[in-house]
Amino acid sequence: MDRRLKRLLDLLDGVGEDTVNTSVRLPVRLRDAAAVAAEMGLASSTTELTVRGLRDVLEAFAQRAVLDAHYRAHPEVRPSLAEVAQAAAELDGNPLAGRPELIRRAAEEIHSVKDDPDPDDVLLYAAGLAAAA
């Protein structure tokens, strides 16, 4: 594992509540929205919201980096575009989830009309195929 990724994970997993003062420039509207959220009792402070948001983003980055490292080490386990689109359809309750053959076809054909398609592109293409049928 990359030493920087290991350090990031260690820092995120660490215990202790040592804090440090820092200056963060926030957009005025975001700062004001955070103050309103605190007034509503949704958070104790703008600081809490900032820390929570920063932690959430860093954890997402770390998860992606770990997954990418896993796929580099084991490329055979990376799901295909069709498999990811199928899973997305199932999670979203998309009616195309019941038509895996159409999703597979869309995943194969979409490369002819779009560079670097994502699962949403596949589902949109599959919806077009379904509508044309």
Which sequence spans correspond to the domains of the chain? 3-77, 81-132
CA nearest to 26, candidates 3, 7, 54? 54
pLDDT-wise least confident of 16-20, 44-48, 74-78, 120-124 = 16-20
| Residue 18 pLDDT level (bands cut at 50, 70, 90) | confident
pTM: predicted TM-score of the whole model, two decimal places? 0.72
Examine the pLDDT at 17 and tell me if it is beyond 90.
no
